[in-house]
Structure 1
Amino acid sequence: MELEVRHLRVLVTVADAGSVSKAAAKLGLSQPSLSGQLKRIERVMGSPLFERSPTGVQPTAFGRFVLAKARTVLAEMAELRPDSTRRNSGEPRQRVVRIGGVPGPIVSRLALCLRRRYAAGAGMGDTEVHSHVEQSSISLMRLVGSDRLDGAVIEEFAGHELTEVPGVQRSELVPVEPVFVALAEHHRLADRRAIALEELAEESWIVDPLTDSGESSHLRTACQTAGFVPQIRHHATEAAAARGFVASGQCVSLAQATSHEGLGIVVRPLVGDPIVRRLEICWSDRGVIDGDTLRRAAIEAYLGIVDVNPSFAYWWAAHPEVHPNLD
């Protein structure tokens, strides 16, 4: 016998029920049939997975190890299945809202705002909020379109407009958000309130080579307009690695205006806002969250992060025309 996904579900159900008879009832099997399955699974694994007693069953040390792996596999399998498949299968499920977004503080704040809203809503206190952070906005839209996410916060740069995805609705969150620059705290320009892009002509830059938003292209265009070609000498797909390079003074990088300072880094605006992005939300009409709820929660989340960076808080106060409207 080869171990299959259904066998993992059996193990998890038995462990959660704490009793073979209770697990059999949940699985729609007879107790002798389930006991036989357990014995066959244990033979395949080569060691007992449960300790039997008159009061029920408890996982052995090896059983706890196997169960941890089984739960991970089942969770990953669930993520691979479109939500519409689960809805139509008749499987009972807890209400889960799955939101996504581009990297930055907005996704964690959005998840928190939704949790608070659902906790305050009548009969919705048991709603879980799951999240997924993804660099690619088009990938996020496709996840929404395939029912793997219910909604997401996405970004768009002029000239690199996102392709429409069937079944995905979009709405503006913030029409203009400037892109700032991150410098080492000991950098010669770190004490400036704002930095002219041409002052960075001799600097080395670090970029993410996998991003498809168009941000790197905008960097090159803005630098050329300022009279120089950016010296992109470093590439990193992982934020902590990029932060380490910047903090050590080896290079500078573009940064979200809502980025946290500290750990050796300061984040400053660029004079004249030569690079900007647009933030939107997207959702599916088939999802469990409607566009108005998502929009209100996203606005609340965004307003909660505008003062993360004092430089952006100053910029934000000076540009009321880009403030989102709850009406």
Structure 2
Amino acid sequence: MRHLRVLLTVADTGSVSRAAATLGLSQPSLSAQLQRIERTMGIPLFERSPSGVEPTAYGRYVLAKARTVLAELEELRSWTAQLEVCEQPMLLRIGAVPGPIAAKLALSLRRAFTSLRPESETEVYSHAEQSSLALLRMIDSDRLDVVVVEQFAGHELPVLPSVRRMELVAVEPVFVALGDQHPLSGKAEIDLADLAEESWIIDPLLDSGESAHLRRACQRAGFEPRIRHHATETTAARSFVASGQCVSLAQATSREGLGIVVRPLVGDPIVRRLDVAWSSERFAENGELVRLAAADAYLGLVEYNDSFARWWETHPEAHPAIG
């Protein structure tokens, strides 16, 4: 934590000497400490110049993470302090892959546990995470309680002894997102082969296997996908698609609008499975309550996209656990 605060102070002051004064250290001492931190990270975090210091590209990434970690620590301290002066609430720490499921899951779990323990307040903390494996490990390390994760064939998630996991949706098709002015936007279904000349945008940090499935599906359709854009942030990705510069894969439960349409692919060439997982120790008595709350949350998403609502109605075999 001390090292993170040092990095942020150097970045915020723009000078090692000013940072040293702020931290109550000598400049040589802070310079030596900063060099040790950079050696530990294995890469320079700041560029030095006569006028001061500027973060490198990697340094900006580290600083962003540092701010998040310190903010979370401060929130944890604040929450702990509150527990000392009031009755402990029921705390649920949930996580999910990016998308609308996290918000629905939070509401469903709050309702479920409030009905189970009406005398105690139920608080929900949430965490969106691109990596399903990371979400499971956060349960294993007692940082989360309930998560919704995804997996693609050939990229199955490991079994962790402390984590109870059950199928939520056996088969969910992956759709495609296009700008609403795209020549194919008026079609009810889109043949993947018709996108052979399109540029694609993907999230380079996804470890679920989705990008590999995109490549294989395109190859089966007779072409190699032209992946020209990368974005880890949803708003940036949607802006690129809405501008007509590229297309992207999209969750079937994605909402349309703001220049975007979301359409199914003919034959469902790419599908994923969704599971709900929870701490087998903490919810040994309430596992079924968690599963039902997750199912309720997912059912609330089906109507988000008319195309998916029609698909859902005509494919009952894909979701036997929910019905």
How high is the TM-score relative to the length of structure 1?
0.72
How do residues 27-66 of structure 1 correspond to structure 2 at under 5 angstroms? none
> 1:185 maps to what in 2?
180
Match for 1:265 among 260, 263, 267?
260
Q: 1:173 to 1:125 in 2, by over 3 A?
A: same
2:168 touches 2:275 (CA, 8 Å); kept in 1?
A: yes
- The residue type equivalent to 2:264 in the other structure is P
The alpha carbon displacement at 1:166 in A equals 3.0
- The residue type equivalent to 1:158 in the other structure is A
CA offset digits 1:213-271 (Å, max 9, x no partner)? 00000000000000000000000010100000000000000000000100000000000
Aligned counterparts of 1:71 and 1:140: Cα–Cα separation in 2: 20
How do residues 199-214 of structure 1 correspond to structure 2 at under 5 angstroms? 199-214=194-209
Q: Secondary structure at the match of 1:280?
A: strand
> 1:291 maps to what in 2?
287
How do residues 81-92 of structure 1 correspond to structure 2 at under 5 angstroms? none
Aligned counterparts of 1:112 and 1:157: Cα–Cα separation in 2: 27
Q: Does residue 220 in structure 1 map to residue 218 in structure 2?
A: no
Aligned counterparts of 1:130 and 1:156: Cα–Cα separation in 2: 24
Aligned counterparts of 1:78 and 1:150: Cα–Cα separation in 2: 20
Q: Which ranges in structure 1 are unaligned for 5 or more consecutive residues?
A: 3-43, 46-69, 82-90
- The residue type equivalent to 2:188 in the other structure is R
Q: Number of residues paired by the alignment? A: 252
- The residue type equivalent to 2:238 in the other structure is R
Match for 2:250 among 248, 255, 258?
255
CA offset digits 1:259-317 (Å, max 9, x no partner)? 01000000000000000000001111222573211110010001111010000001001
Q: Which ranges in structure 2 are unaligned for 5 or more consecutive residues?
A: 3-22, 25-69, 81-85
Percent sequence identity is 59
Q: Secondary structure at the match of 1:219?
A: helix
Q: Which is further off, 109-118 or 148-157?
A: 109-118
Larger Rg: 1
Aligned counterparts of 2:250 and 2:93: Cα–Cα separation in 1: 26
CA offset digits 1:102-145 (Å, max 9, x no partner)? 01111100101112223333435401111111010000000011
CA offset digits 1:54-96 (Å, max 9, x no partner)? xxxxxxxxxxxxxxxx9864325689x9xxxxxxxxx974220
> 2:132 maps to what in 1?
137
> 2:39 maps to what in 1?
none
Q: Secondary structure at the match of 1:278?
A: strand
CA offset digits 1:130-189 (Å, max 9, x no partner)? 111101000000001111111100000001111222311110000000000000000000
> 2:43 maps to what in 1?
none
Aligned counterparts of 1:173 and 1:190: Cα–Cα separation in 2: 30
Q: 1:71 to 1:236 in 2, by over 3 A?
A: closer
Q: 1:270 to 1:312 in 2, by over 3 A?
A: same
1:151 touches 1:281 (CA, 8 Å); kept in 2?
A: yes
Q: 1:207 to 1:71 in 2, by over 3 A?
A: closer
Q: Does residue 151 in structure 1 map to residue 136 in structure 2?
A: no
Q: Does residue 115 in structure 1 map to residue 110 in structure 2?
A: yes
Aligned counterparts of 2:295 and 2:76: Cα–Cα separation in 1: 31
How high is the TM-score relative to the length of structure 2?
0.73
> 2:18 maps to what in 1?
none
